Homo-oligomer: A and B are copies of this chain.
Amino acid sequence: MDLVTPQDVEAAQRRISTVAGPSAVVRTPLLPLIGIEDREIWVKPENLQPTGAFKIRGALNAIAALPEPVRARGVVAYSSGNHARAVAHAAHAFGVPATVVVPHTAPAAKIAAARELGAEVVAVDVADRESTAQRITAERGATLVPPFDDLAVIAGQGTVGLEIAADLEVDVVVVPVSGGGLLSGVATAIRARRPAAKIIGVEPELAADARESLHAGRRVSWPIELRTRTGADGLTAQPSELTFRHLLDRVDDIVTVSEAEIDAAVAHLARRARIVAERSGAVSVAACLHRRLPPGRTVAVVSGGNIDAGELANLLTSEG
């Protein structure tokens, strides 16, 4: 099985940089988390991307890499979360149609967000999502953009790692894990640019399938009822064979954090880094604050910031 190479990530960086204006990927800085920890911790705030998550990197790279006549027939995503927003946004940037297949049960706000970005939204029974997406893809000659099980998507997410390595002589990189696309890409870039750095994934305790899989050396599946218990609702997917191979090859460990630690990290980021993070995006910071990690200069990737305003308000007031 071919894994993503550092050259693939560099090519993604060049491709993504051709998109300018308000649709462009934001070159996020590193923000120091100062004042309370005994280690040097930096945040990579991917919540600042236009759709509120790192996902636009992979979506833009995947769509940019399509031959023009194929791209013109449009793209399809099935998801109601950050990936669908990213695909809608990236399609808009290239002026091609996007279709997002969501379950009937998706929150109205998420459907509105996809429509606002110009996507056609098709609502179906949750069990029919994948088949509907495949039917639309076939009928229209459109291209399905998967959330993580795709070399171009992984390479795009890896540009986060290139930027980290360009900005800091980093010793430890801490990354949220769901399907593992972000972690696979970042690990590829960091291994190439900072070979001695440690690369650590983070999962909620309640959805720790990737950690169990990494320790077992083979993919272990957790039932969806277990994985969806966590409030970090963007971290309930499981690695594919493709992303799991990257983790086995390039990741040092995966650690877990509790729900209370995640909630506290969201509040901490609002107070101390002055950014709005979603729970799924803040697990990396929770691990920095509450777990014993390898020593040295540490970067926590905050992967997204799409949290309901009322929920954020609750987290800010339930804390000290």
Number of interface residues of A (CB under 8 A): 40
B residues less than 8 Å from A267 (CB atoms) = 309
Known: A52-B274, A270-B276, A274-B276. A313 touches B305 (CB 8 A): no
| Cα–Cα, bound, A66→B30 (Å) | 28
Which of B24, B29, B276 is close to A275, meaning CB atoms less than 8 Å apart?
A: B276
B48 and A32 contact, CB distance less than 8 A: no
Which of B21, B30, B117, B316 is close to A309, meaning CB atoms less than 8 Å apart?
A: B316
Copies of this chain, tallied across the complex: 2
The secondary-structure label for the interface of chain A is mixed
B residues less than 8 Å from A317 (CB atoms) = 309-310, 313
B residues less than 8 Å from A21 (CB atoms) = 32, 40
B275 and A274 contact, CB distance less than 8 A: yes
Q: Which residue of B lies closest to A22 (CB)?
A: B32
Q: In the assembled complex, how far is the CB of residue A213 from the closest CB belonging to chain B, in whole angstroms?
A: 31
At the interface, yes or no: A81 with Cβ under 8 Å from chain B?
A: no
Which of B32, B52, B313 is close to A316, meaning CB atoms less than 8 Å apart?
A: B313
At the interface, yes or no: A70 with Cβ under 8 Å from chain B?
A: no
| Cα–Cα, bound, A28→B309 (Å) | 24
At the interface, yes or no: A11 with Cβ under 8 Å from chain B?
A: no
Q: A270-B276, A274-B305 are in contact. List 11 more A-B contacts (CB 8 A).
A: A21-B40, A22-B32, A22-B34, A23-B32, A27-B29, A31-B48, A48-B274, A270-B312, A275-B276, A309-B317, A312-B316
Binding site for B on A (CB under 8 A): 21-24, 26-32, 34-35, 40, 42, 45, 47-48, 50, 52, 116-117, 267, 270-271, 273-277, 305-306, 309-310, 312-314, 316-317, 319
6 intermolecular pairs with C-beta atoms under 8 Å apart: A28-B29, A48-B274, A267-B309, A270-B309, A313-B317, A316-B316
